[in-house]
Amino acid sequence: MTTITVLTTFHQEGLDVYGQRFLDSFAKNIDKCIKLLVYAEDCTPINPDPDQITILDAVQALPKLVAFKEKWGDVPKANGIPPDDIKARRPRDWHKEFKWDAVRFANKTYAVYDAVTRSKDWCVWMDADTYVHSPWTYDDFVKQLPNNAWITYVGRGKGSQTWPECGFYGLNLNHPVCHEFLKEFERVYEDADNGIFQMEEWHDSYVFGTILNKMKADFPTVLDYSENIYNNTANVDCYYIKTPATLASSPAQNCELNAIFHDAILEFAEAELWRTANQPDRMNNALTRGYEYLGKYNQNPATGVIGEGIPFDYSSSNALIDPIYPNYPVG
């Protein structure tokens, strides 16, 4: 019988918002043969089933995590503020702090490094904001973990170049390639200057995906749960406030809203999503970024004509940093 150990981690806010709900739903609906390791970050969850769930103090159980935070806790680049070369190269998204917050996401990676030493056969990460809404038998679970795969994960669809969705992934501890993956996964954090900080981003999903993609090229026996998700087409009814132009009819047809405004619109859309999720701090952060874009638009002399559909140069990754119309007259 294949042994399956699940792990997760959360802090006090996570415990209050979703963590306790996850523990309760896991104990209620997951087969008792499947055990759960919880790395509690300065919080004390209620254990609904001590026979199935083991709760560990993350500070005591993860000395390497403590050392990592002591070394990098006050270093801006490890806490969401990327260095200047990335700011210059990524003007559209360098402000998205999670992409460069190595300290925040290290809780997850170091919990994984420890959990695999306490596990046999399969070690499975599950985000603590998961809710197990229906019973899952042992057979249901083990079907997701084929023995021929050295790792399982949720990608973004076949051919995607972005990082995986690391809310659920399985590590086959009986496979030697998995151990090579784990060795490299830990090395890039333990030797961060020559590891994660040499990458384009250093949140855990990007780091995980970078190592996975390199190893997958030589060892392709993986299971990507998303591989066929986006291959199926569906009929969708679309309704428009205004009938869109037939873009194929003429190359001169352009969207009436110039693409330069898309960044601001995305920030305001993100703010609205955070509002519906009752996350006021994140909502306000997105609103602030959106208003900053509006301020830049109002200060740029080209803005007065952008809304009229005049195309602008997209050779730069941020058209507001490089003048759109360098010689455009003002006044």
Quote the CA–CA distance of 4 and 33 in Å, as a whole number: 8
Do 279 and 316 belong together in one domain? yes
Number of domains into which the chain is organized: 2
Q: Which single residue is written with the structure tokens 């809710």?
A: 131
What tokens appear for 176 in the block? 């030697």
Question: Tell me, what's the pLDDT at 210?
Answer: 94
State pLDDT tens for residues 133-174: 999 999 999 999 999 999 999 988 666 667 888 999 999 999
Question: Tell me, what's the pLDDT at 161?
Answer: 61
Can you give the pTM of this predicted structure? Answer: 0.70
113-121 mean pLDDT:
97
Do 129 and 152 belong together in one domain? yes
Do 208 and 276 belong together in one domain? no
Question: Tell me, what's the pLDDT at 231?
Answer: 54
Do 299 and 156 belong together in one domain? no
Closest CA to 76 of 88, 92, 89, 87: 87
222-238 mean pLDDT:
70
Q: What confidence category does residue 220 fall into, taking pLDDT thresholds of 50, 70 and 90? A: very high
Most confident stretch, 125-134, 255-264, 305-314: 125-134
Quote the CA–CA distance of 63 and 106 in Å, as a whole number: 12
Question: Tell me, what's the pLDDT at 277?
Answer: 78
pLDDT exceeds cutoff 70 at 325? no
pLDDT exceeds cutoff 70 at 258? no
Q: What confidence category does residue 321 fall into, taking pLDDT thresholds of 50, 70 and 90? A: very low
Q: Which domain holds residue 42?
A: 4-230
pLDDT exceeds cutoff 50 at 57? yes
Do 59 and 123 belong together in one domain? yes
67-84 mean pLDDT:
94
Residues in the chain: 331
Do 253 and 162 belong together in one domain? no
**Percent of the chain predicted with pLDDT > 90:** 59
Do 254 and 177 belong together in one domain? no
Question: Tell me, what's the pLDDT at 263?
Answer: 79
**Percent of the chain predicted with pLDDT > 70:** 79
Do 252 and 126 belong together in one domain? no
- Which domain-ending residue is among 176, 202, 230? 230
Q: What is the mean pLDDT of the chain?
A: 83
Lowest mean pLDDT among 211-215, 260-264, 269-273: 260-264
Do 196 and 224 belong together in one domain? yes
Lowest mean pLDDT among 43-47, 106-110, 238-242, 290-294: 238-242
Helix (H, G, I), strand (E, B) or coil at 47: coil
Do 89 and 132 belong together in one domain? yes
Question: Tell me, what's the pLDDT at 265?
Answer: 84
Inter-helix orientation angle 176-190/63-72, to 10°: 40
- Which domain-ending residue is among 198, 230, 262? 230
pLDDT exceeds cutoff 80 at 234? no
Do 113 and 216 belong together in one domain? yes
Quote the CA–CA distance of 256 and 56 in Å, as a whole number: 56
pLDDT exceeds cutoff 50 at 304? no
Do 219 and 274 belong together in one domain? no
What tokens appear for 277 in the block? 């999720």
Question: Tell me, what's the pLDDT at 312?
Answer: 39
- Which domain-ending residue is among 166, 200, 230? 230
Kindly report the CATH number assigned to the domain that includes residue 162: 3.90.550
